[in-house]
Structure 1
Amino acid sequence: MTAHDTGLPGGVAVSHLSVYDWPAVDGGCGGTPHMHLACSEAYVVTGGRGVVQTLTTSGFEATPLRAGTVARFTPGTIHRLVDEGDLRIIVLMQNSGLPEAGDAVLTLPPEYLTDPQTYARAAAVPADVPEAEQERLARARRDLALEGFRALREAEGPEALAAFHRAAVALVRPRIAEWRERWRRGAEAAVRATGLQLDQLEQGEFPHLKDAAVRSQQPSVQGKFGMCGRLDVYEN
């Protein structure tokens, strides 16, 4: 591995998602609404059909998803995947490592957003418990987040959403130094490497070309209980 190898191109993370078909209290099936604070996200729909529901300061939207659709959104977009028939997606995440380090905050009711410990108890799905218990916990946190999501949708005026933003930022602030280091090793390093390569090419030099390589991999984890569905995760 060369000094300029930062994983997938541009420090991006990839996973394969099979969206939950669990019915919810509102009649829809699907995953847990949440928001990323520093990472953009893109969905490449590979099969099935469904909808991604989003909530921002501009209001609520529902974007249809079917095979071939690419949907993308920026940090601050609360999103919920709804499965309408075997919805399967390749998920691309900016800043590989940050989403896994807590960049996503679920739309739990306000009483669960008061401090990191309270939030973690409501949001955690430990990998070292039986699969049936993991599913129970994942469904419970999904249903709890839907309560908060519904309240945010129904609130009049911008204050409820602003309050959720403030609570989410307070939850993650203790981890920003760790995030910054992950970003430096990943996405920032990829940008620096490209800048160096352009400088070298401009001078007629090409040392990076002799280090060209091909790599492939299988998922490091399969069927993980993610926020939106069962995940096949690839190491970056």
Structure 2
Amino acid sequence: MWAFINKLRSPKWFYAISAKLQPWFWAAAVLLLLLGSVWGLVFAPADYQQGNSFRIIYVHVPAAFLAQSIFVSMAISGLVFMVWKIKVADMAATVMAPLGAAMTFVALFSGAVWGVPTWGTWWMWDARLTSMLILLFLYLGVIALRGAFSSRDSGSRAASVLAMVGVINIPIIKYSVDWWYTLHQPASFTITGRSAMPMEMWAPLLIMVLGFYCFFIALTLMRTRSEILRRETNKRWVQELVEEVR
């Protein structure tokens, strides 16, 4: 564990190892998303109550899962940056925020579209909907804080603190259906318990979730590599790399 943390102190090492990992995650993401979308949108049976409108679950649920996971990842990266002063952790947190905000918006929008045939309305101040909207504002706050300071380190510390404090919203999102009356039903699919969904419906959903996570990892690796080059542009190894490309 400590050896890995010490290696993370080197942007050069992360740049090199991410180059090897990135193609595998891109390939996995493409294959999983293609398989999951075709299976879920074409071959999965229609829901006995919602009909074909339920198929938006194959976008809505993975986006919602990923939106929450990215914020937790940002909070952990912020903690690593604040405690061990590891620059790569802050670079990763920087590139994660826009994707997290995008996934939160996708989850909210797809949920609103799904709500029309299911609830008869685009929006209700439902506990889970409201907490997801707060998550979107937290993402926008983190992004805004990074650009609100003349010093990059000051912006990074402020964004890290907000991410670490704002992570309390994640369990609120998860348990909102248990703590308050909400239009959202409890989870139909769990890894540890028996699923209320037939295998023909939850299997493509699981594949889509895995595909979304592979996409997140691949994109984070790619954008972190770009961030490393941008921040380390004056370092000798970056200049040598640029010369090799030329």
Which of the five TM-score ranges fits, normalised by the shorter chain? Answer: under 0.3
- Relative to its length, the structure with more strand (as a share) is 1
Quick check: which has more Rg, 1 or 2? 2
- Relative to its length, the structure with more helix (as a share) is 2
Task: Output the TM-score relative to the length of structure 2.
Answer: 0.27
Task: Output the TM-score relative to the length of structure 1.
Answer: 0.27
